[in-house]
Structure 1
Amino acid sequence: MPLHLTKIAFGARSYADLESWYANRRSPHLTTRYRPTRWQECLGGSLYWIHDHNIVARSTITGFAQGEDGRWIIELEPRLVPVLPKPKRAHQGWRYLTDRAAPRDLEPGEDLGDIIPGRIAGKLAKLGLI
């Protein structure tokens, strides 16, 4: 089973912003200064996007390459897949996610309505209320 990565959707004010990033890119990829140390285990895994303290979507990782400027390119499938929101704190650097800890994809047509903000959802989960 491949490992997955998590990434903050920095600058996105809403999930719609994240969707528009994908819609407006010709080739979806992400550039970073440092390649994840366990990058080979991430091939075939997904990059999970964190927005407002929730994991909200993912894209499959198709490869890693080094650019001419020395930065690393994480190549992604051009499709953003919404997932069942799961609370996740903000972080710096790369964090890994196993299949067991990754949220499931939303079914076509599945609607969650209003999503509970991540901080509140985390507190409610600790209390066993969700």
Structure 2
Amino acid sequence: MGKTTHLIKLSAGTESVDSLMDWQGMRRAQTEDGLPRHVTRMWPRREQEVLNGGSIYWVIKGLIQCRQRILRLDPVTGADGINRCALVLNPEITRTAAAPKRAFQGWRYLAVADAPPDLPGNRAEEDPLPPELAGALAEIGVL
């Protein structure tokens, strides 16, 4: 089996993991087969590594808070005629340990070793901490 790499992306306009889930539940955020997707301008050059078990880690309110497995990459042509990449995602969202992340443009590669761990099953359903508190705790290594 080959190398795996992840992507990391700001979830612009998202207030929480729940609001990300609500957005992805809308028809316009889905593929024809009903899977959630995120359309991006750039196609990952490390496509095989991303498709070898990679996930997209979502940054919400300055914190990495969750991830979704990337199932496939679909070509998409916008109304403007520009070719783009649709990251087709597993509908299951996995909450992760909160990890602070400064704002950045587009998506970036995220090494497996640098990805925050998934929350244990018994913590995944807990009410999330306010982003400011979670960020402060993550910065000092408590979360």
Same fold, judged at TM 0.5 (above): yes
1:120 is aligned to 2:133: no
Count of aligned positions:
126
Cα shift at 1:103: 0.9
Q: Which runs of 5+ in 1 are unaligned?
A: none
- Tell whether 2:16 aligns with 1:14: yes
Q: Does 1:52 align with 2:39?
A: no
The answer to whether 1:4 aligns with 2:6 is yes
Unpaired runs of 5+ residues, structure 2, are none
SS at match of 2:112: coil
Measured on the aligned residues, the alpha-carbon RMSD in Å equals: 2.2
Match of 1:99 among 112, 119, 131: 112
Q: Once structures 1 and 2 are overlaid, which stretch shifts more, 34-43 or 85-94?
A: 34-43
Distance in 1, Cα, partners of 2:131 & 2:84: 36
The residue that corresponds to 1:39 in the other structure is 47
TM-score by length of 2: 0.76
Change (3 A) 1:40 1:105: same
Percentage of pairs with the same residue: 32
| 1:63-117 deviation per Cα after TM superposition (whole angstroms, max 9, x unaligned) | 1121244221111111111111111111102211111111111122313752452
Counterpart of 2:49 in structure 1: which amino acid?
E
Q: Any conservation in 1 of the 2:64–2:96 contact (CA below 8 Å)? A: yes
Distance in 1 of aligned mates of 2:57 and 2:128 = 21
**Counterparts of 2:135 and 2:117 in 1: how far apart (Å)?**
20
Question: Which residue, out of 78, 93, 102, partners 2:91?
Answer: 78
